[in-house]
Structure 1
């Protein structure tokens, strides 16, 4: 596997985590479309099976094409390793279940993606995992007051969906570490190109790589990345320090994940317990498509951010727009300056000064934007989140963050920006 310096992002997106010499000199990672792999001799098979040697046995556990994607994203994100999974929600679920297994509490903001809120409120409590919600994740006094003996992590979105509120990662990491717990960041909107949470103390990153990492709307996938800096043996996480019967020393004695994998205990446990047993696997073909998407991530996001900023400026001056949600437009915002000098991403929202029928009219009259519940595509997308992507969120929480039936979310793509602004103008004129 080729090793590259941390700061060479544009080289890493094309080469990191993959050595053509190991794959018949193919410059692109081949698609290893196979369920399982021949084991070689018995000694090698045992080493691979027990994890003392990297190799491949079964594609539910690891696959060379998927591994190339994992290695590349880990390198771009500044992590020690990564595990790719079948969706962004699988990434969120596996990361939080792995940290809070057996029961505990997680602190999270109320302005999250709708499916995350639904999972946190309706599913996790049935597993003994309870979420302590905070309306403003940057209200550090409140966050500190919520930390209890059984608190296992703080979870945030670096840029919230759809409000684009920015989490103060460095201060939240400090609070988490003082309490002996990790900070887990959903960094889907910015991707590692615009922002690397690990540079500011985060411990685990999760992504819906369906979105801007892949960027072409043709893959559903997720990925978990481990910074490799958190001490999982601090006494708060027994699942990492208890002996695991599937792990053994050379003389056959069972050992813990912490003993076996050290700084990689978290991500190794995600792979060996959650990926292998729960089985939300990324397919080799999807990994191949995602790798192709990563190759153009810089150019895509540069133009998408530029387009989104221009559209945000138009919407801010549009008489029928009551409120704009795009933190990136405020260059004096200290969190924008600190964390997002290249932009916060290509997703923005706005509230129209009208009725639900007028919102429907805008959605029905756009010609360039596609009415579609995804983000991060090369094509520009439009949706009414309260009725589609955030419908699971209770009305009380939606109203707290201004998320009502008059809010429209845009995911800005690579079209000509004048065409996009013109499309919004004609749709708004038609509606009003």
Structure 2
């Protein structure tokens, strides 16, 4: 089976969707002919590739076609719009020119990729699969970044159309499935396949490891946030929590470590400096081979999501945390997938969002209870291997794609 995949981010980009998609495509390429249309890497300012209209690569059996993408800072709205726009136009052209696939699959980064995928699928007369990682325009509306009524209506129309016409729509949680049904996506076309982590690449490691020693974390109690520093995470609550932990004392050497990058990082760094939060440390994204050590440096991981986004956004960092055998505290709505995982598998603690006092108290209690930390981490690792491991997710995608291809063949 020939599978064509569209998404702006792919290896070596460190965006979560890029890492997940890379793992999925590499695994599927062992059984299928997989081609990915993607952009040139944008997260690394030192990325050496020269921008061209098209550039072909091969990665572990995956044929990668990189298309022209504006190279600019991701920190401004105009630059990000230019990056997204050039990718979408280039991807549309490439999708119409490459060898005709049996199935076309798009993810949702950037949000208009499914619309481009629908146009390509319509022109090539092939079934479309949309994997919904974030649900737009609802995310932008709830964050307040999209406010004008006619822009909201236009975005709704452009983004709802491909979802309703796709042969399959993949939701990454039951909550997201319900949100998709509210948008009018036919129930019978929605399939829930959770995100995952690679339990062989991310394994429990000693707290005192090369990464921890390099950053002085082996001598501290570490609360870790690892991943995107964007607009959907409630970092204001984390900073106010850091202030309370510092003021209350009683736990020596507590360090809040924020690893990653994103649209909100510079503002967050300025805020931490203005408040003189010397107990907050910022570090860049880590190479994949070091992630198991960076996660292992934590006593407790933290997950943040602004209220009202449950089912529209589901933090996938929870799976890497579980793979590392570390417990987590999540400041998140009770209806989120993270909260369900914590309740079902007894691997984390949930506190209401935007309540820094509750977050600080939960962290203090867990930091003071090593036996409970060990139990929660062990439960998380066991649940990851049983329900959310990479190989399990790949099998679910493989079965879905084969069934769709078979249906198409049966109809002639």
Aligning the two structures, in what range does the TM-score lie when normalised by the shorter sequence? 0.3 to 0.5
Larger RCO (CA within 8 A; separation ≥ 6): 1
Q: TM-score under structure 1 normalisation?
A: 0.31
